[in-house]
């Protein structure tokens, strides 16, 4: 090690330790640790964390790395350096010649020559890595590796401490992070959003426990020779769903341009799954949780009736008959998510002609001081391990809630799970989850009645209708 470098390492560890004990927000603490690592080693540095699938690595904090390299794409834990699956430090002397570098061409264009990856361990589980990137050939010494290991350990302590402060269950020393869930790691993500709408969307994803990465990849769309002249960087990537999401909430004038880029991207990269979330879709998504301009509008009452009481009861009988026939020789557990489902589920089970068990669960709503993740306010009481579960929903729109509930129930060991919903608002779907039994398809409008509410009103209506639109003269829409 060059003379005097020990002094820089010591200072970096001391400052990182002070940050861990400072009470600062987790993102600020991790940024301090990564920045200190980079400066002490005169290199770039990043903290990458495993996503909820434990297969992908996502940049959480970085220093001294160009955006072009950070947006190279999501990294596969098994293909990128391999320090995470092996749990051992990995030193790369020449990124251009080593097969353990997932994006060697992009690393070379970013001026990266050598790399070092040290696993970040929480309890007994490897949760990510601290990585160092140099612009010159470096044979990393044991002291270098020990220093980066110390910084990675401090990052792990910061993540665990934050879990304690948030009153979530951290991994106990020597325990398994899977027992604590991925909430501490989600708290560690850092992103500088270009617009408040993007931050709001990230909060909604956090609420539903959906892993995300902000602008992780830029796709070349046009070239002049070897020079890229046009790029497209989707706003979000959801690795667990292998889905990119682009928001169009800033200026409607950008919609045409974004649609053009989307068409080009789909032609050039047909394997990419991407969806465009329009302004009206995003406003309605926010309004569902009481936020945004649409949440401030007051409905005028009942609008057009979509399905009468007699029509609903006839369709419920048909669905109950089909369910009873399909599972005649089994005893399913029917589970409803409160509260909107109570009318539909009560009528449905009364029409069933087979033995069954019934249970309910409830989740918290978006908002409040601690809203970074869905909270199960009432879990099921029945043991569903090895059982057939019929999940009953009142309405499926974006698929966020349904996706969360399905994952929650599957973790309990259900043998088979089918979804039965009264209403399907297909045009709103972001997460495409198969629906096994559907009562009615409804338009992309706000519907009320038969258990569905608008600000806790109209649940007791015996029919399903649109919510009448307020008078334009009385609306004051917030500026975005």
User: Which residues belong to the active site?
Assistant: 397
d(CA 243, CA 197): 19
CA distances from 201 to 71, 210, 406 (A): 20, 11, 21
Asked if 234 and 187 count as a contact pair (C-beta separation under 8 A), the reply is no
| Among the listed residues 242, 138, 128, the one whose alpha carbon sits nearest the alpha carbon of residue 185 | 128
Asked if 325 and 319 count as a contact pair (C-beta separation under 8 A), the reply is no
**Which residues partner with 277 through β-bridges?**
247
Residue 250, burial from CB neighbour count under 10 angstroms (0-12, 13-18, 19+): middle
The secondary structure element, H or E, covering residue 405 is helix 400-410
Q: What is the dihedral of CA 405, 409, 414, 419, to 10 degrees?
A: -20
Task: For the chain, count helices (H), then strands (E).
Answer: 13, 21
SS3 state at 141 = coil
Place of tokens 């304690």: 164
Structure tokens at 336: 């409803």
The secondary structure element, H or E, covering residue 419 is strand 416-424
d(CA 409, CA 177): 20
Question: What is the number of residues in the chain?
Answer: 480
Q: What are 282-288's contacts with CB under 8 Å, separation 24+?
A: 282/197, 282/201, 282/247, 282/249, 283/249, 284/428, 284/446, 285/201, 285/204, 285/398, 286/200, 286/204, 288/366
SS3 state at 216 = coil
d(CA 250, CA 38): 35
| Among the listed residues 1, 2, 59, the one whose alpha carbon sits nearest the alpha carbon of residue 34 | 59
Sheet holding 114-122, edge to edge: 75-76, 56-63, 44-50, 125-134, 114-122, 90-92
């Amino acid at each position: 090690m060059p003379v005097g470098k020990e002094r820089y390492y010591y200072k970096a560890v001391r400052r990182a330790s002070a940050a861990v004990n400072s009470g600062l927000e987790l993102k600020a603490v991790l940024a301090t640790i990564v920045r200190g690592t980079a400066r002490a080693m005169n290199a770039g540095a990043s903290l990458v964390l495993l996503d909820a699938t434990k297969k992908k690595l996502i940049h959480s904090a970085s220093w001294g790395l160009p955006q072009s390299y950070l947006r190279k794409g999501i990294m596969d834990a098994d293909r990128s350096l391999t320090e995470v699956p092996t749990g051992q430090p990995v030193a790369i002397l020449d990124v251009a010649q080593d097969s353990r570098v997932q994006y060697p061409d992009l690393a070379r264009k970013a001026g990266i020559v050598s790399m070092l990856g040290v696993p970040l361990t929480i309890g007994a589980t490897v949760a990510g890595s601290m990585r160092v990137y140099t612009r010159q050939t470096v044979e990393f010494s044991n002291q270098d590796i020990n220093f980066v290991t110390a910084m990675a350990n401090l990052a792990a302590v910061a993540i665990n401490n934050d879990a304690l402060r948030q009153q979530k269950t951290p991994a106990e020393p020597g325990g398994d992070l899977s027992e604590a869930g991925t909430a501490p790691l989600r708290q560690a993500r850092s992103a500088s959003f270009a617009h408040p709408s993007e931050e709001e969307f990230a909060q909604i994803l956090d609420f539903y426990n959906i892993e995300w990465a902000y602008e992780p990849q830029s796709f070349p769309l046009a070239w002049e020779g070897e020079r890229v002249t046009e790029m497209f960087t989707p706003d979000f990537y959801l690795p667990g769903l292998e889905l990119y999401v682009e928001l169009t909430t800033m200026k409607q004038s950008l919609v045409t341009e974004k649609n053009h880029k989307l068409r080009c991207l789909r032609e050039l990269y047909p394997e990419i799954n991407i969806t465009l979330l329009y302004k009206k879709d995003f406003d309605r998504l926010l309004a569902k949780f009481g936020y945004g301009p649409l949440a401030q509008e007051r409905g005028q009452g009942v609008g057009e009736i979509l399905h009468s009481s007699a029509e609903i009861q006839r369709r419920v009988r048909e669905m109950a008959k089909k369910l009873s026939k399909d599972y005649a020789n089994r005893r399913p557990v029917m589970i409803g998510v409160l509260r909107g489902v109570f009318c539909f589920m009560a009528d449905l089970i009364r029409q069933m002609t087979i033995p069954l068990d019934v249970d309910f669960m409830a989740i918290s709503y978006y908002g409040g001081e601690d809203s970074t993740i869905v909270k199960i306010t009432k879990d099921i009481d029945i043991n569903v391990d090895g059982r057939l579960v019929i999940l009953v929903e009142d309405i499926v729109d974006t698929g966020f809630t349904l996706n969360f509930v399905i994952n929650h129930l599957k973790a309990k060991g259900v043998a088979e799970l089918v979804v039965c919903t009264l209403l399907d608002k297909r045009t709103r779907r972001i997460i495409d989850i198969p629906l096994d039994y559907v009562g009615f398809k409804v338009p992309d409008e706000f519907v009320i009645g038969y258990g569905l509410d608008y600000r806790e009103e109209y649940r007791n209506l015996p029919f399903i209708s649109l919510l009448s639109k307020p008078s334009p003269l009385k609306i004051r829409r917030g500026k975005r």
